[in-house]
Structure 1
């Protein structure tokens, strides 16, 4: 089983600008970058055309550390306290279920654990201390 805890920055339409900034300021290397417009056609059909250029997910490497940067989904609100979350990444669906069950105790589920086009088991939960976690299961 693999397990990583990765900082995840969520922005509201300016993730591309932030990525370019981190490339210069932190000597970050962009390992991958996907826009909402690159999602499967069935997902794209439900989004406004002005959202398709937004960053759905990107991976930056700063020396040995990875950092994720993305824009929010259409209609998703951000608040100063939830722009930075921790992404728990594992290849074990059962472990994802365990983390999901434990972190929601006394907290709030933002996105229920479910299969998504990019993950067999993904969720977002704010724990009872106000910390937001994304649970991401790799294929």
Structure 2
């Protein structure tokens, strides 16, 4: 089976978002490559976008990766679709800490609370427009 990881697209604030996620979740952000860092290649697709835009970023979280880039100019705007990234923690306390950090400057769609499947679960969209579902402390059956 292949690994299934997430790839997000941003509108010029990818570096800020990925550094925020690195501080919030831990893990290691490498690489963070900007278009200005790439060598000149003849016939390179897409022309030369703004050098400060992120061409590729990868946040390694355990055995998973959260990858991202900025949308190059002329390729449209990045818009969230019908999805959410799900985070599951062993404890309700850790889930609440992450939920609170992600919700700063964002909008909560379901406040963190106890459910029949978890001690703590909530949904939000962070300040970068990324939707999250955060849970922790699974209920005993």
Structure exhibiting the larger radius of gyration computed from Cα positions: 2
TM-score (norm 1): 0.50
TM-score (norm 2): 0.49
Considering fraction of residues, name the structure with more helix: 1
